[in-house]
Amino acid sequence: MWINKDMEKLQPSAVRKILTMPSKRSDVINLGLGQSIYPTPSNIVEAGKKALDDGFTRYAPNAGLAVLREAIAEKVKKENGINATANDVFVTVGAQEALSSLFVLLLNPGDEVIIPEPCYSGYISSIAVARGVPVTVPLRASNDRHLDPKDLERAISPKTRVILFNTPNNPCGTVAHKEELEAIARFAIEHDLFVVTDEIYEKIIFDGRKHISLASLPGMAERTATINGFSKSYCMTGWRVGYFVMQNKLKEHWAKVQQALVSGANTSAQVACVEALTGPQEFVQEYLGKYDETRNILYEGINAITGVSCLKPEGTFYAMVNVSELGADEDVAMHLVENQGVRTIAASNYGPNGEGYLRLCFAVEPEIIKQGIQRIAEGAQELLAAKEK
């Protein structure tokens, strides 16, 4: 076959796989999604439409429209404690392209990237496409899915170049503590590593926790690329706009990679993103309130089911549900789709420490979460009964 052997080995996205699994039921509930069911706020949609009418139909510069880069620089200064100018901001085709373009820029073949797992599956593929090697460290259930900095020391090798860190974390639903971030910063400085930090869920945080950007810690701005985007905070997954902030000489070379990969993000969508950042922000709190409600329903409902449990998510709209008493996570996920018509993601797809867990997305209506929990309870009962036979 005319295929590169490394690309042949790449795994398809677990989310895409779950969407196509057949069910006996016609009224399938989808808790496998990686996005909110709520629409893009109408002022942003209107700004995108107007941009087309106003003629924003041509190429934008590689690094993005100046007006958007300015707005992002203002945002990160105000909200993230990163003292960036527009020249440090790079607009990408979703956060996903920020990841892949950065790894293409950073890695030589065989260079290693330390990543805590379970992790977003796009990390593994974007490192593979850049011919790098992911080296995982565990986010253990026994440590409430937070990083134990001692594990970083075990992962270091002469080939380590980058640490990739994600907070708030998909799929774990955690928000990194300040001590965790300080330990990463110390480790990166000590071993002279570059840090890629993915903060795309920064606005989806519960119970008054605070998001801290790694680049705001002392000595980190010059060795960090901070990735963010519009998909999650502004419900704009389909617009495909993300960005990263990097204050380092590397940035002079990035446009060459961007030109080769995508030549720039969608121009009219970038105008809509200016409205997202500079227009009314009330809906961010409004949507957060909705996620908080379904998070609480999920947490109580799941923990009331025999043989199933979950930690309360600290951030994101995902929960990791322990189904290890029912069977292997892939089998449980299959059983639930086939028989109960509820789609979830087997978390072993996110790394070995996901084994025995399902990732559920709770950015859906309360009624759907309630029905989903009821169906999971039925499935759990069937699976437990089958085990006892």
Ligand X SMILES: Cc1ncc(COP(=O)(O)O)c(C=O)c1O
Chain residues binding ligand X by CB under 6 A are 34, 94-96, 120, 122, 166, 170, 198, 200, 229, 231, 237, 242
| Token digits of residue 369 | 């979460």
Q: Which is nearer to ligand X, 275 or 375 (CB)?
A: 275
Q: Which is nearer to ligand X, 94 or 116 (CB)?
A: 94
Q: Smallest distance, Å, CB 351 to ligand X?
A: 13
Termini Cα distance of the chain: 47
For residue 100, the SS3 value is helix
Q: Which is nearer to ligand X, 237 or 381 (CB)?
A: 237
Instruction: Decide: 117 and 354 in contact? Cβ < 8 Å.
Output: yes
Q: Smallest distance, Å, CB 93 to ligand X?
A: 7
Q: Smallest distance, Å, CB 166 to ligand X?
A: 5
Q: Closest Cα to residue 149, out of 183, 120, 196?
A: 183
Q: Which is nearer to ligand X, 62 or 339 (CB)?
A: 62
Q: Smallest distance, Å, CB 110 to ligand X?
A: 24
Q: Smallest distance, Å, CB 199 to ligand X?
A: 9
| Token digits of residue 222 | 């010059």
Q: Smallest distance, Å, CB 233 to ligand X?
A: 10
For residue 262, the SS3 value is coil
Query: What is the CB neighbour count within 10 angstroms for residue 140?
Result: 14
User: In the beta sheet, which residues pair with residue 135?
Assistant: 114
Q: Which is nearer to ligand X, 270 or 371 (CB)?
A: 270
For residue 112, the SS3 value is strand
Query: What is the CB neighbour count within 10 angstroms for residue 214?
Result: 27
Q: Which is nearer to ligand X, 19 or 156 (CB)?
A: 19
Q: Smallest distance, Å, CB 304 to ligand X?
A: 28
Alpha carbons 210 and 27: distance in angstroms, whole number: 38
Point out the residue whose Cβ comes nearest to ligand X: 94
Alpha carbons 81 and 83: distance in angstroms, whole number: 6
Alpha carbons 101 and 191: distance in angstroms, whole number: 23
Alpha carbons 198 and 125: distance in angstroms, whole number: 15
Burial class for 364, CB neighbours closer than 10 Å (0-12, 13-18, 19+): buried
| Token digits of residue 301 | 């409902």
Q: Which is nearer to ligand X, 246 or 377 (CB)?
A: 246
Q: Smallest distance, Å, CB 237 to ligand X?
A: 5
Q: Which is nearer to ligand X, 119 or 185 (CB)?
A: 119
